[in-house]
Copies of this chain bind each other. A is one copy, B any other.
Amino acid sequence: MRPLLDRVELPGGPSDVRGLLRVPPGRVRLADYPTDSHPGSHGKTAALTDRHALEPVLAGLQERCYAQGHRTPDRRRLVLVLQGMDCSGKDGAIKHVVGAFNPEGVKITSFKRPTAEELRHHFLWRVERALPGPGDIGVLNRSHYEDVTVVRVHDLVPPEQWQRRYDEINEWERRESDDGVIWLKVFLHISAEEQRRRLLQRLDDPSKHWKFEAADLDERGYWDDYQRAYETVLERCSPPQSPWYVLPADRKWYRNWALARLLAETLAAMDPRYPEPDLDLSALRARLSA
């Protein structure tokens, strides 16, 4: 009767990329996770076609969430958390995948080195301010997880301070979940060799020199420390309501496709519906024609 008000089906049928990429409980060794595999996809050409088909579906799901969150008491909102080593493609993923959404309903925050004001607050303060309102989509480009990775690798706070943060993060994410936040936490997993290739490409292209920071080379020296810090994150902060997904990100076409699928599956599972306000259609039409 009114197909637009029914459940949204994904092109190519239902998929379970979430199931394929979700971190299982227990010990995590990132060395066991390939960076150049492509679980769930049927190769590059099929992935590009599928992503193209997903774009209007993503926008449609977003519009329903927006309508529901802005016109009904439904407080749910999707929050995408992107973490990964330098050059892992966080910015590229936002440009190519998040770009499918209507920008009016998306709140993107890129977390840099904390400002003096941010440092005067609890580390979760600035992240809480970046959460979207009901029906909007939030994107965190880096996040509170910097406070247990870069902070740990460089001893920016005493160990007893960062060690208690895993529990604080779990409690806070749980509280936000109870308030309607649907977490989608994605670790873009690249190899050290792929990072080297991408840094060299930046040097070869004058239009990308502005992205180059000498500090990135220093950070490469801490590669193994970062991998260990992320392993702890993936182990300790993957409760059922906000699990981590490890996305093999050496191949950009796969990264974009898998992220689009993760978003689509998550939004479709929220099953957003257009509100159906009680309008007296004939009276309204009559008034408009007067």
Q: Which A residues contact B (CB, under 8 angstroms)?
A: 2, 4-5, 67, 70-71, 91, 94-95, 98-99, 101-104, 106, 108, 110, 139, 141, 196, 199-200, 203, 205-207, 209-212, 214, 217, 274-277, 279, 281, 284-285, 287-289
Contact = CB atoms under 8 A, between A and B. Distances in A.
B104 A217 contact: no
A102 B217 CA distance: 26
A93 to B, nearest CB: 10
Contacts of A98: 103-104
B141 A210 contact: no
Q: Is the interface of A mostly helix, strand, loop or mixed?
A: helix
Contacts of A274: 206-207, 209-210
Given A4-B207, A104-B110, 4 more contacts: A4-B205, A99-B103, A196-B289, A199-B288
Contacts of A110: 104
A287 B217 CA distance: 8
A94 B91 CA distance: 21
A121 to B, nearest CB: 19
Contacts of A211: 67
A200 B285 CA distance: 7
A212 B279 contact: yes
Contacts of A101: 103
A209 B206 CA distance: 50
A89 to B, nearest CB: 13
26 contacts: A2-B207, A5-B207, A71-B210, A94-B102, A94-B104, A95-B103, A98-B103, A98-B104, A99-B99, A101-B103, A103-B106, A104-B141, A196-B288, A196-B289, A200-B288, A203-B279, A203-B281, A206-B274, A209-B277, A212-B277, A212-B279, A212-B284, A214-B284, A217-B284, A217-B287, A217-B288
A254 to B, nearest CB: 21
Contacts of A212: 277, 279, 284
A289 B203 CA distance: 13
